[in-house]
Chain A
Amino acid sequence: MSEALLEVSGLAKHFPAHAGAFRRGAGAVRAVDGVDFTIRRGETLGLVGESGCGKTTTGRCVLQLERPTRGRIVFEGVDITGQSQQDLRQVRRRMQVIFQDPYSSLNPRMTVGEILAEPIKVHGIIRDPAKRQARVRQLLEEVGLLPQHAQRYPHQLSGGQRQRVGIARALAMEPSLIICDEPVSALDVSIQAQIINLLEDLQARLGLTYLFIAHDLSVVRHISDRVAVMYLGKIVELADRQALYEDPLHPYTRALLSAVPIPDPKLEATRERMVLRGEVPSSLNPPSGCVFHPRCPIAVDRCSAEIPPLREIKPGHWAACHLA
């Protein structure tokens, strides 16, 4: 087992909520509420869950784009929580992000070449302009674009090409960790597979480590070594890919997997679906005990009273369920 590149422990992020005309405090939205995980060097950890489960906030806390309310984030052996902006600049070189919508994260007034050259210049990675241009060409090639794309503006590119630019920009900093926040969910089906293959190739070639945040369970299974499932600010299950998909221990994971339609009419005709009751409760006022208990098909009395801790039920397979 290789060393841990990122260790997150006890991470919580609460946002103050306001209500009424005078914006009086109305409690806190517990977007992330006590999350622990590690990512080993070179692996991909998938983080799945539905909207509002806290997966994106978790990613933003790791990047220190949000200051966590509680918890520790140790990256490359250094605790980065509470570091100054100055120190964080160095950290951010080693830790980059790819966003869902490349269109809104690329400056529309800059050419692709400028977008890629700027961070290299600002961070003083390559000071010589000619060498910088050579690096831009190399980055374009690395993500499957052509040298002439450097002269184009983001709006002249297709969605898939824009996401390639987003990836090239992340690579420009020579990071060890890339947080991929829903990197393919805004793309067409036929293009998604291109981007996923590209991410896998880059990982193999450059030894990258990914935190892959997504809601699409099939995509997450494909790309991840290990997978964490989040629900209402908490990790409810964490395991190796195969264990999680073939032997899910948490009823929420089972429901999620059963909800994914499979492109095969014969199979679907006989497949029973486990349709969950109700909707995800508000993280402003999460349910008592296990946060999943109001929707859980197997909940017992204990579930509404006692918070189930994330326990190691089988080696390397963790679940937060009293009944697992």
Chain B
Amino acid sequence: MAKLLEVQELRTAFTSASGVVRAVNGVSWDVEEGETVALVGESGCGKSVSALSIMRLVDPPAGRIEAGKVMYKGRDLLKLSEEEMRHVRGREIGMIFQEPMTSLNPVLTIGRQLTEGLEIHVKLDAAAARERAIELLGLVGIPDGARRLSQYPHQFSGGMRQRMMIAMALACNPSLVLADEPTTALDVTIQAQILELMRGLSKRLGVAMVINTHNLGVVARYADRVNVMYAGRIIERATAAELYANPRHPYTLGLLHSVPRLDEPRRARLHPIDGQPPDLSRLPPGCAFAPRCAYRVARCDAEVPELTPAGPGGHVSACWESARLIREAAA
């Protein structure tokens, strides 16, 4: 299938009081048409900044995209004018944020927020935009759309607001939706509703999706391919099935082992990853995970490992000791 989005050697950095923070430190990944790709990792791994960089929503002067390309349908988004970029954001790529209340305008009605984009980007007249808005609310499971249009975000519950965000993201028939921790702020039963809704819509409308999450369960059910990030880099990539069956990076392995699972017998003890997450303004010269890694050898402290083939279906892992991991897994 054709590549819809190709992120190449992207670097985004922020200047803070403690120095330069390399939030995204040279990452390359892609999304095919209609596919769901996950960026997985813990806070500070660079998944949110990756999404913001694609949308060019990294605020200068503190933040800047230093290098790389974001090829979308053959054009480099980083080279577009602000005017052209606005069109991409409105029409081509939708975005869903973690906290819907902070990304909806509290003083505009639901109707206005939905129709604004339709009028500007799709050039619908007011009546047609209103009709489409009601249709969109129905699409995301908000009944009684005509009445809802005159309401304000505070009159919606958390789950409804997230449905509304999805409706806004889909309003102009985008080919790609970036969802940044779309269900983290929601309750479990509402999470399930929203994720099933997103999966259904993505399949039905053929929209490709990027889901940023720290939840390995969410990834297992909803992603086709997974990029695991740590300290601003991708450290492993595989199809979801392959990643869970054969993790080839000690960090991925550690993440999978550290969470208790409902489908397995209860373990006497959990197996956490030792140590603390890295300070991004003082990254070690070698592998950023080395200080916490059980497989660490001398080379890990000196040289950053590149992504190298580790299994079928484009499975790659950035670990000097991945051969040992594979041997141990086979044993």
Contacts and interface: CB of A to CB of B under 8 A. Distances in A.
A69 interface: no
Interface in A171-223: 188-194, 196-197, 200, 215, 217-219, 221-222
Given A264-B244, A268-B221, A190 B254 contact: yes
Contact of A264 (B160, B254, B263): B263
A275 B193 contact: yes
A266 B239 CA distance: 12
Contact of A50 (B187, B245, B263): B187
Contacts of B266: 221-222, 241
A323 interface: no
Q: Is the interface of B mostly helix, strand, loop or mixed?
A: helix
B201 interface: no
B271 to A, nearest CB: 7
Contact of B192 (A192, A275, A279): A275
Nearest to B274: A194
Interface stretch (B94-102, B130-138, B172-180, B212-220): B212-220
A222 B267 contact: yes
Given A261-B220, A265-B221, A215 B272 contact: no
A29 B288 CA distance: 49
B196 interface: yes
A263 B42 contact: no
A262 interface: yes
Contact of B220 (A51, A222, A263): A263
A259 interface: yes
A153 interface: no
A256 B260 contact: no
A263 B217 contact: yes
B92 to A, nearest CB: 29
Q: Considering residues A217, A219, A262, A266, which has the most beta carbons from chain B within 10 angstroms of its beta carbon?
A: A262
Interface in B196-244: 196, 214-221, 240-241, 244
Given A265-B241, A275-B196, A260 B214 contact: no
Nearest to A200: B269
A188 B43 contact: yes
B215 A158 contact: no
Nearest to A259: B192
Contact of A51 (B187, B219, B255, B258): B187
Given A190-B277, A280-B187, A222 B270 contact: yes
B99 to A, nearest CB: 14
B276 A158 contact: yes
Contacts of B218: 261
Nearest to B216: A263
B1 interface: no
Given A259-B188, A261-B221, A279-B157, A218 B256 contact: no
A121 interface: no
Contact of A161 (B191, B254, B261, B276): B276
A245 interface: yes
A267 interface: yes
B108 interface: no
A196 B271 CA distance: 10
A193 B271 contact: yes
Contacts of B274: 194
B255 A197 contact: no
8 contacts: A190-B277, A194-B272, A218-B260, A218-B261, A257-B262, A262-B262, A267-B263, A275-B189
Interface of A: 50-51, 158, 160-161, 188-194, 196-197, 200, 215, 217-219, 221-222, 241, 245, 255-268, 271, 273, 275-276, 279-280
Given A192-B272, A263-B220, A266-B244, 16 more contacts: A188-B42, A189-B216, A190-B42, A190-B273, A197-B269, A215-B187, A222-B266, A245-B262, A261-B215, A262-B220, A262-B221, A262-B263, A263-B244, A263-B261, A264-B244, A279-B159
